[in-house]
A and B are shown apart, each in its own frame.
Chain A
Amino acid sequence: MNRLKHNWLICRAVAEVTYKEWSAYRTHSLVSVIVGPVYFMVQYFIWTAVYGGQTTLGGLDLQQMIRYFGATALIGYLIMDFADWNLSMLVRTGKFLTFHLRPVHHRSFALFQKLGHRMLGFLFEFLPCLLIFIYIFGIDMRPASLPWTLVSVLLAFLMNFYVNYTIGLTSFWLVQSGGIRSAFLLVSGIFSGALIPLDFFPHWLQVTQLFLPFQYIAYMPAMVFTGHYSLGGLELSLPEAVGMQAAAVLVMFGCNEWVRRRAMKQFTAVGA
Chain B
Amino acid sequence: MKKYVDVYKQCMYSAIQTASAYRMNFIVSSLITLIGNILFPLVTLLIYRAGTSFPGWSLYEVLLIQSIFTMSSGLSSLVFGGLLWTTMSHVREGSFEVILLKPLNPLFYIVATTFSVESVGLFLGGAALFIFSAMHIGAISALAWLQFTGMFLAGTAVLAGLSLMMAAMSFKWVGNSRISELADSVLHVGKYPLPIFPKAVQAAATLIIPVGMVGYLPASALLGRVQAGDFIAILPCFVFLWAGIWVYRHMIRLYEGVGG
CB pair A42 B176 closer than 8 Å? no
CB pair B52 A54 closer than 8 Å? yes
CB pair A52 B196 closer than 8 Å? no
Instruction: Say yes or no for A134: interface residue by CB 8 A criterion.
Output: no
CB pair B178 A186 closer than 8 Å? no
CB neighbours of B36 from chain A (8 A):
186
CB neighbours of A32 from chain B (8 A):
178
Instruction: Say yes or no for A108: interface residue by CB 8 A criterion.
Output: no
- Which of B29, B32, B178, B186 contacts A31, CB < 8 Å? B178
Instruction: Say yes or no for B50: interface residue by CB 8 A criterion.
Output: yes
CB neighbours of A48 from chain B (8 A):
196
CB pair A45 B39 closer than 8 Å? no
Task: Determine, out of B40-48, B94-102, B148-156, the stretch whose residues face the partner at the interface.
Answer: B40-48
Instruction: Say yes or no for A98: interface residue by CB 8 A criterion.
Output: no
Q: Give CA–CA (A176, B42) in the complex, Å.
A: 29
Q: Give CA–CA (A196, B44) in the complex, Å.
A: 10
CB pair A179 B47 closer than 8 Å? no
Q: Give CA–CA (A39, B188) in the complex, Å.
A: 7
Instruction: Say yes or no for B158: interface residue by CB 8 A criterion.
Output: no
CB B247 to nearest CB in A, in angstroms, measures 18
Q: Give CA–CA (A48, B197) in the complex, Å.
A: 9
CB pair B176 A31 closer than 8 Å? yes
CB neighbours of A57 from chain B (8 A):
50, 52
Residue of B36, B185, B198 contacting most chain A CB atoms (<10 Å): B185
Give chain B's interface secondary structure class. helix
Instruction: Say yes or no for A190: interface residue by CB 8 A criterion.
Output: yes
The residue on A at minimum CB distance from B46 is A200
Given the interface contacts A31-B182, A45-B201, does A50 sit within 8 Å of B47 by beta carbon? yes
CB pair A200 B47 closer than 8 Å? yes
CB neighbours of B49 from chain A (8 A):
200, 202
Instruction: Say yes or no for B124: interface residue by CB 8 A criterion.
Output: no
CB neighbours of B179 from chain A (8 A):
31
The residue on B at minimum CB distance from A43 is B188
Instruction: Say yes or no for B103: interface residue by CB 8 A criterion.
Output: no
Give the top 8 A-B pairs by smallest Cβ distance, nearest first: A49-B196, A38-B185, A179-B28, A200-B46, A31-B178, A35-B185, A42-B188, A35-B181
Give residues 150-194 of B contacting A (CB, 8 Å): 173, 175-179, 181-182, 184-186, 188-189, 192
**B interface list, Cβ under 8 A from A:** 25, 28-29, 32, 35-36, 39, 42-43, 46-47, 49-50, 52-55, 173, 175-179, 181-182, 184-186, 188-189, 192, 196-198, 201
CB pair B50 A42 closer than 8 Å? no
- Which of A28, A42, A46, A183 contacts B32, CB < 8 Å? A183
CB pair A195 B50 closer than 8 Å? no
Given the interface contacts A31-B176, A46-B192, A57-B52, does A196 sit within 8 Å of B43 by beta carbon? yes
8 residue pairs bridging A and B, Cβ less than 8 Å apart: A25-B176, A31-B176, A31-B179, A52-B55, A57-B50, A182-B29, A195-B42, A200-B47
> Chain A contact residues (Cβ within 8 angstroms of B): what range?
20 to 34
Give residues 9-63 of A contacting B (CB, 8 Å): 25, 27-28, 31-32, 34-35, 38-39, 41-42, 45-46, 48-52, 54, 57-58
Instruction: Say yes or no for A267: interface residue by CB 8 A criterion.
Output: no
Instruction: Say yes or no for A201: interface residue by CB 8 A criterion.
Output: yes
CB neighbours of A51 from chain B (8 A):
52
CB pair B173 A45 closer than 8 Å? no
- Which of B42, B53, B189, B197 contacts A50, CB < 8 Å? B53
CB pair A28 B178 closer than 8 Å? yes
Q: Give CA–CA (A35, B176) in the complex, Å.
A: 14
CB neighbours of A38 from chain B (8 A):
185-186, 188
CB B3 to nearest CB in A, in angstroms, measures 36
Q: Give CA–CA (A211, B69) in the complex, Å.
A: 35
Q: Give CA–CA (A196, B41) in the complex, Å.
A: 12
Q: Give CA–CA (A32, B179) in the complex, Å.
A: 10
CB A34 to nearest CB in B, in angstroms, measures 6
- Which of B25, B42, B186, B198 contacts A45, CB < 8 Å? B198
Q: Give CA–CA (A27, B182) in the complex, Å.
A: 13
CB neighbours of B181 from chain A (8 A):
31, 35
The residue on B at minimum CB distance from A181 is B32
CB neighbours of A200 from chain B (8 A):
46-47, 49-50
CB neighbours of A42 from chain B (8 A):
188-189, 192
